[in-house]
A and B are shown apart, each in its own frame.
Chain A
Amino acid sequence: MNDRIVFQDVSKFYGEILGVNRVNLSIPQGVTSLVGPNGSGKTTLMNLMTGLVRPTRGRVQVLEYTPDEPEKLFRILGYSTQFDSFPKGLTGYQFVSSYLQLAGNDSKTSDQLAWRAIERVNLSDAAPRSIASYSKGMRQRIRLAQALCHNPRVLVLDEPLNGLDPLARAEMIALFRAVAAEGSYVIISSHILHEVDAISDQVILLSNGYVVAEGQIHSVRNEIQEHPAQILIRCNRPREFASKMMESEHTIEVRIHNDGRGLLVKTRDTDRFYLMLNHIALNGIEIESVAPADDDVNSVYEYLIGNDEVVR
């Protein structure tokens, strides 16, 4: 019996557009966060895991089932998607209970399970109302209730904290922890690492359809440090800027731009680069712009450490 969620050399192309490429993952029990900017392939990975899309190449296995068997897979898996649309005319309660009835439960069992899930996401008062009247946060929570209602062993949540106020976020994070503590696999996607940092047992870092790093949160941070980042700076005294940069050991390479108005810096530590940049700016060099030259690693890095930590 397989006790992991496995991606084996999985690629997904939407026509000529890359979704994810050559993904190899083995996700253990606990809370796993998929982190990356928009378009990095988080939702594609989740859709592949749940059979909503099929891999162009490779194989996906969720514990003992493949996504080709929805009738078996969704008995152990609940998926709260990012799709913000619902079957027309349903109330929150009907949305959850009809899902349970679709699974084959009788109306009494469906009723009990539905109310239990609705209570877990604190939506009891609004449940008899039509979903059309819900706020974004309420829609997010009713989707969570639907994903949770049949007590799945695997819970897949695509940007589950989007649209929630701080209190609801805290409640949901506590809920995810509780679910994971019961022995479940909780897969959460987010484009902001510090949002899921505290609750993640492991992190999978995605960029442009590739897994750039995976593992425990600290090891991912270290892994990223080893990727050099290229940064383009436009300033009035590029040569002076370059000489100051070369004094730092994290700088690998500096190239002055042909027009003499800018330079390209390759650094191993963007944190220290930006601190140094501030220092240089305070010493009289006029800096017009600073832009990452290699979007993939740099932007992923920004996501990893959080934008607010980057000094501009």
Chain B
Amino acid sequence: MMGLWWAQIRSVIRLEMKKTFFARRGLWIYILALLPLLLFMGHNLVISRQQARRHRIASRSEKPLTYQDLLAAKSGMMSQEVVALLGKPPEHFHWNERTQSGTDSFVLVPHESYHYSDGTNDLYVDLSDGKVTSIDVRDGFNPGEDSVVFAGVFQFFYLRLAIFFGCLGIFMNLFRGEILDKSLHFYFLAPVRREVLMVGKFLAGLLATCVIFVGSEFLQIVVFVWNFSPNVRDLYLYHNHGLTDAAAYLGVTALACLGYGAFFLAAGMLFRNPILPAAAILIWEAVNPFLPTLLQKLSVIYYLKALCPVEIPSPPGTPPVLALLVSNSDPISAPAAILGVVIVALLVLYVSSLQVRRMEINYTSE
């Protein structure tokens, strides 16, 4: 019997794949999935232009500089000391500030700004009247800061919006779309258990969303680490949890497709208008941090948040409501979180299987 069911599931998947991947009305899902990728590609473009500028500045230096050389410049130094230490600045700006020195007299205070680079990092030295007033060393690569930005994009855009609405578009259409196209009877007239049909359609949706969203996430990670120099990349990937984080992001994306997919499959069978359940699920997921612990566990985001590898720090002054969205007040272990998503998804699929058994074909009432 299992062999027959599996053969039937494969047939359903084959039929659904073409519809899911190449439907014209699903184009927006690809756009949604690829938006962060475009964002990171744009970021890479900016970074590479900055790198080219740094190389240009470094090549114009009187002597080759190291990162230690850049750190050697200190506030309070005189301009001559800076030049002696780092050479003549490759980029140099100056201006005069007119300041009042008596009741009717003014003096001109000269200001200067030196820009050095070792080819990777920048040093900005501000001088006033020949004396260093501020030093600003800007690291060319900051994997720590960048990974927080990546985590922010992932948690606030990709997970909560892109995957959410992408799953809505794909899973909701598995049954609802067929009812609107008046073609669901094709499946209902076949000698297939309705539950087997539902599983086949769900797996087809899961496969499609995983290919689209996990694929996009993978490309995002590749593009993200691509902008680092080879040394920084190795350091980040192999010595700074980079690979583990990447695996976690891919896993969380797949689990999000599983969890949201189950919800939207059920919604597509239970509701005629997808806007209402989508809004309800979106609100439910958004207010999750404010719900009692037991109810929190009946959402997908509760478990996914726990699995996100990089915690997003709340900057001082963040409103408590926003801080609550990113914080994990009730952290759970990774295995428990994975099991949680799977159990929630299975529960919802069980409800769907009861519904699919009762479903009727009545296109005229749609």
Does A87 contact B15, Cβ atoms closer than 8 Å?
yes
Select one of B187, B190, B193, B361 contacting A47, CB under 8 A: B361
Residues of A52-94 contacting chain B, CB below 8 A:
52-54, 68, 70-75, 79, 81, 83, 85-89
Q: How far is the CA of A258 from the CA of B11 in the complex (A)?
A: 69
Does B193 contact A102, Cβ atoms closer than 8 Å?
no
Q: How far is the CA of A280 from the CA of B362 in the complex (A)?
A: 48
Does B186 contact A99, Cβ atoms closer than 8 Å?
yes
Residues of A73-129 contacting chain B, CB below 8 A:
73-75, 79, 81, 83, 85-89, 98-99, 101-104, 106
Does A104 contact B7, Cβ atoms closer than 8 Å?
yes
Q: How far is the CA of A52 from the CA of B359 in the complex (A)?
A: 8
Q: Which residues of B contact A79 (CB under 8 A)?
A: 189
Q: Count B-side interface residues using an 8 Å CB cutoff.
A: 30
Q: Which residues of B contact A70 (CB under 8 A)?
A: 188-194
Smallest beta-carbon distance A108→chain B, Å:
13
B363 within 8 A of A: yes
Smallest beta-carbon distance A207→chain B, Å:
20
Q: How far is the CA of A85 from the CA of B182 in the complex (A)?
A: 6
Q: Count A-side interface residues using an 8 Å CB cutoff.
A: 31
Does A74 contact B361, Cβ atoms closer than 8 Å?
no
Nearest CB in chain B to that of A53: its residue: B360
B145 within 8 A of A: no
Nearest CB in chain B to that of A12: its residue: B360
As a 0/1 sequence over residues 178 to 206 of chain B, the CB contacts with chain A under 8 angstroms (1 = contact) are 00011101111111111010000000000
Q: Which residues of B contact A150 (CB under 8 A)?
A: 191
Q: Is the interface of A mostly helix, strand, loop or mixed?
A: loop
Does B360 contact A52, Cβ atoms closer than 8 Å?
yes
Select one of A15, A51, A75, A89 contacting B188, CB under 8 A: A51
Nearest CB in chain B to that of A84: its residue: B182
Does B362 contact A14, Cβ atoms closer than 8 Å?
yes
Select one of A72, A87, A103 contacting B186, CB under 8 A: A87
A50 within 8 A of B: yes
Q: Which residues of A contact B188 (CB under 8 A)?
A: 51-52, 70
Q: How far is the CA of A89 from the CA of B191 in the complex (A)?
A: 22
Q: Which residues of B contact A104 (CB under 8 A)?
A: 4, 7-8, 11, 191
Known: A99-B186, A102-B8. A73 touches B18 (CB 8 A): no
Identify 18 residue pairs between A and B in the complex whose beta-carbon atoms are under 8 Å apart, listed by A's number: A15-B365, A50-B189, A52-B185, A53-B361, A70-B189, A70-B192, A71-B192, A72-B191, A85-B181, A85-B183, A88-B19, A88-B181, A89-B19, A99-B189, A102-B15, A103-B190, A104-B4, A104-B8
B residues sitting closer than 8 Å to A (CB atoms) are: 4, 7-8, 11-12, 14-15, 18-19, 181-183, 185-194, 196, 357-358, 360-363, 365
Known: A88-B19, A103-B192, A104-B4. 15 other contacts (CB 8 A): A47-B361, A52-B185, A54-B360, A70-B193, A74-B191, A81-B185, A83-B182, A85-B182, A87-B15, A87-B183, A101-B11, A102-B8, A103-B8, A104-B7, A104-B11
Give the 5 A-B CB pairs with smallest separation, nearest first. A74-B191, A85-B182, A102-B190, A52-B361, A101-B11
